[in-house]
Amino acid sequence: MAGAAAEQRRLAGVVESWQGRPVLVIGDAMLDEWRFAESDRLCREAPAPVLTLRRRISAAGGAANTAVNVAALGGRAVLVAPVGADVAGDELHDCLDRAGVWDRTVNQPARPTPVKRRMLAGNQILLREDSGEPDDPLDPDGVQRLLTALDCATEELRAAAGGERPTLVVCDYGLGALPEPVRAWLVANRERYATVALDAHDLADWRGLAPTVVTPSFAEATRLLARASGSARRTTGPDLHLDHPDGDPADGPSELSVGAAPGDRAPRVHSVQGPGATHRAGDPIDHATANPDGHATAGLNGHATPTGLDGHATAGLDGHGTAGLDGSATAARLDRTGPTGEAAPDRVALTGDGLSVAATGLTVSAADGEAVDRAKVAESRLAELHVHTGADVVAVTLDTEGAVVGGADGERRRSHSTPVPASHAVGAGDAYLAAMTLALAADAPLSTAAQLAQLTATITVSDTGTCVCRREDLLAALDRPHRDGEHPVLVDAAELAAIVAEHRRAGRAVVFTNGCFDVLHRGHVRYLEQARTLGDLLIVAVNSDESVRRLKGPDRPVNPVEDRAALLGALSYVDHVVVFEEDSPAELIRAVRPDVYVKGGDYPPEMVPEAPLVRRLGGQVRTLGYVPDRSTSRIIDRIRAHGQERESDPSFSSKPS
């Protein structure tokens, strides 16, 4: 565990290094209002609960919450955004002041401040009321005052940082804060910012910005690809067909869609049979059913709609409630006509022939019984997303399934999130964006930035309310998993499952390998050292003595499993060692669900027997070359040959043993 502890110290060093880093946030700011009520009866007029309001909380939302997270994580945050001259605007100013954000917002008397009000009972969101979404674009005077504020804030930050170029974060959620003149100014002045992060519902509007990092949700990424490729069909990789739908209504960031606005059509949840069904992906479905347990079903954009009284959903780093797509249960298609400014969730049909996302026209083929993994789909399109966004780093967020992050050099990282109630996840995407931006601005490697961003988002979802992560909480979380004596190196399968779950909650990537490791040699050491660099946690599974005998013959192993496991556990870059009795590690792989599965050998990953299973579970398969002339069999053969020479040479008989 020494290597893991050193890794945590390195990550903490990155967090310390971004202290005071100048960050300018511009975009759609809004107010999040939380109303907590109690209910113990239904009203007589309708089957609706009678609510008694107990408390009310206001918080910064959208671009404002991103700025709050930057400040809470230790950065120097400045917010430039249009804000209404109204009560909601006054509350938003108070939120920014309390968080230590430099408030450079521009009052717009003719435009209301967007507000998202959530009514809760028992921590369950019962409804959300949106108000203040502007009907008209910013007038020319408003645009000019916004550009002036942007220019002044940029110079103010640069002066405060001793001439250092600030970092820019753009939050474009389609609420009118970033009209074409503002976008054009940002593109023309790109060189004034060292690092540029972009979170936009419509990425196509920002191609000329050349951002450092973009953080689209899966739905936003597929819409961009659909717009770029039309109805062209890929002939390699996953079978994808992208047809861009008419119109791209936008929603605010990090939101859970709960019901429909007054006067709008309510959501419809359609049941689709799982593997083996005769329905073909994309065909219409006529019958509708609601989940009997009241849990939310969801589309690929991460939005969820509660269908029962408990209404629980799961949420991930982009803050959207969702239900997973594991192929083991009935999938769902969710049709919804939302109010103006709302993004209609992707409609999903999962069948034996594939997955269809009707809102984006996405179709992914899958074998019968095989789960369709959004992470695998996103990973297969990272190169195209780099091209169409012009970004160095693309982080496709997958709500409950974490994120897939790719660099321009081909480096990829997979992170995981933790299921939580939907009321805990509002704004988690803002926290993710803030941490990712600060880490990249501090010149952290892609793997480090991805891990810190996921950990930050995970920390924020511990309670109901708009998500904010403090620097102190992030540093404490980096210490927590590796306190001395908390987890032993040598573990059994049950202990390993709990350990992996803890690391997943912290957003760490798990690397898994297995083998006999009968005689540990230089080739093993180099191979394991390389494997550790592919993730944050290296697990080595070792065949038991009986398993080795079945695989290698009655004269193996040379060393008992206790010795083999102890030697592996002594290596600083091995985090955990587990022994398995079977001939194949398949059961352990199912339990661990590694992000990266590694085998030693000079052959393509496709030849690894475990490769299909690992990929079905969403992991990557990597093979690492052996060190020449270093293998257990050759070492054992040399030892045996030397022993035979001693027995046949009489000159050795008189020498003491």
Give the span between the Cα atoms of 425 and 460, in whole angstroms: 8
Does residue 319 contact residue 254 with C-beta atoms inside 8 Å?
yes
Does residue 7 contact residue 445 with C-beta atoms inside 8 Å?
no
Would you tell me the crossing angle of helices 2-17 and 471-479 to the nearest 10 degrees?
170
Q: What is the DSSP letter of 38?
A: E
- HSE-up of 234 (CA within 13 Å, CB side)? 19
Q: What is the DSSP letter of 42?
A: B
Q: Which member of 103, 346, 392, 430 is catalytic?
A: 430
Q: Which of 460, 463, 491 is nearest to 477 (CA)?
A: 460
**Residue owning tokens 């029962």:** 308
Q: How far is CA 551 from CA 587, 609, 623, in A?
A: 17, 15, 21
Q: How many helices (H) and strands (E) does the chain have?
A: 18, 30
Q: What is the DSSP letter of 217?
A: B
- Respond yes or no: is residue 293 known to be catalytic: no
3-class secondary-structure state, position 485: coil
- HSE-up of 121 (CA within 13 Å, CB side)? 16
Cis peptide before 557 (omega within 30 of 0): yes
Q: What is the DSSP letter of 241?
A: B
Exposure of 173 by Cβ count < 10 A (0-12 exposed, 13-18 middle, 19+ buried)? buried
Q: How far is CA 168 from CA 68, 100, 396, in A?
A: 14, 18, 19
3-class secondary-structure state, position 396: strand
Q: Give bridge partners of residue 335 from the DSSP assignment.
A: 268
- HSE-up of 306 (CA within 13 Å, CB side)? 20
Active site residues: 430
